[in-house]
Amino acid sequence: MDPQIIGIIGIAALFLLLLIGMPIGFSLAFIGFWGISMITDISVALPSLLRSFYGTFTTYSFTVIPLFVIMGELATVSGLSEGIYKVADKWLRRLPGGLGIATIGACSGFAAICGSSVATAATLGKVALPEMERYNYDTRLATGSVAAGGTLGFLIPPSIGFVVYGILTEQSIGKLLVSGFIPGFILALAYALIIVTWVMLKPSAAPANPERVPFRDKMASLKTIWELIVVFLLVMGGIYLGFFTPTEAGALGAFFLFVVTLMRRKLTWPSLKTAMASTTRISVMIFMILAGAYVFTYFMALTMIPMTLSMTLSKLALSRYAILAVILLAYLVLGCFLDATSMMVLTLPVIFPTILKLGFNPIWFGVISVLMMEAGLITPPLGLNIFVIAGVADVPMETIFKGAIYFLLAIFAVVILVTAFPQLALFLPGIMG
């Protein structure tokens, strides 16, 4: 049978396995193993499977993933996440929709030490939603702002999304992490603008908070999150200046937050066990997906589908930006059914050669693709952040989707902005030490 026919059957079978609920990592590995066996022989497929899994779980550079995850877990245990929200509230509460904007600010701060969008949404949701409910905020605005703010965890460094992208495309993880800083800051501002516009058009959605906070108290509040500033400077500053590799920076950040949690007397055996168990569960899930992705990528390479697609697209009578628009539209559609990591491992083996063929910068495309995958986190019917907020707030998912949908406008606007001005993503990586 023709290898490309086998490849098409394999892709169709993969989506079928995902629809019936088979975990993405196992689905990728199974289809990849089957495909390699069909094209070559089981004597080739079996060593490929073993090498992929052994290599993924023993590669030193991949340890950055659990290190970034444990940073977020320790930040939650230490109470830093709650402190971030209180500081943001003190500084921003007087703005229209101040608590919503404070939520975006707190999500940005927590994202700077977490790297996971779902963890950011879940953690800040527990703190911010009760406060907004107390001030009679519109439920759609409250839940939508938390769900959207959580997506910043996938873009603002340190981001697990960029780590996975760098692993799959063999790009510099350090440069990818740094590239997300300016777009992440712009997206946070765009989210805040959405909230301000919403409240100006419908003032009842966010009743004004009459409490004034003296400037002295605002400055004093910053002392409660000095650890956040230090750990961000250690991790991202060290990577940017070339002092540490991402793995070394993650280890230093995790150790620092461990000490902070200990000094705050929040480190107990139950909390430590919970943090370690959560880190292990999330890390193993990501490793399984990556291992399966390597098997599937080898299968795709044997079918020649990525190369054929790349050549076909490059020969179309379309501009490269028109082809890029088609790719991004495909990401938006896939985001309705798949989580961001799954989208990366499914699409990059096929799409990335096309991106290189079209002459796009791979670091820049990493930012663009992560932005579009952020959109998938809040789009129906499988927006993971929506499910998380529904669990935290006990609010119907339909209501949360109605609130979050407005924030998609901000993501699309930032995608257009970064596409029009690539230096927004490439400036900092270009001057890295």
Contact between 404 and 383 (Cβ < 8 Å): yes
Q: Which long-range contacts (CB under 8 A, 24 or more apart) does 218-221 make?
A: 218/90, 218/91, 221/86, 221/87, 221/90, 221/91
Q: How far is CA 334 from the centre of its chain?
A: 15
Task: Tell me the C-alpha to C-alpha distance, in Å, between residue 290 and each of 49, 55, 133, 355.
Answer: 12, 10, 40, 21
Contact between 319 and 310 (Cβ < 8 Å): no
Contact between 389 and 121 (Cβ < 8 Å): yes
pTM: 0.83
Q: What is the pLDDT of residue 427?
A: 93
> Has residue 121 got a pLDDT over 70?
yes
The string of pLDDT tens digits covering residues 372-392 is: 888 888 887 767 788 778 877
**Cβ contacts of 361 within 8 Å, gap of 6 or more:** 422, 426
314 pLDDT band, cuts 50/70/90, is low
Contact between 10 and 31 (Cβ < 8 Å): yes
The string of pLDDT tens digits covering residues 173-191 is: 889 999 999 999 999 999 9
The string of pLDDT tens digits covering residues 47-81 is: 988 988 988 888 887 888 888 888 888 888 887 77
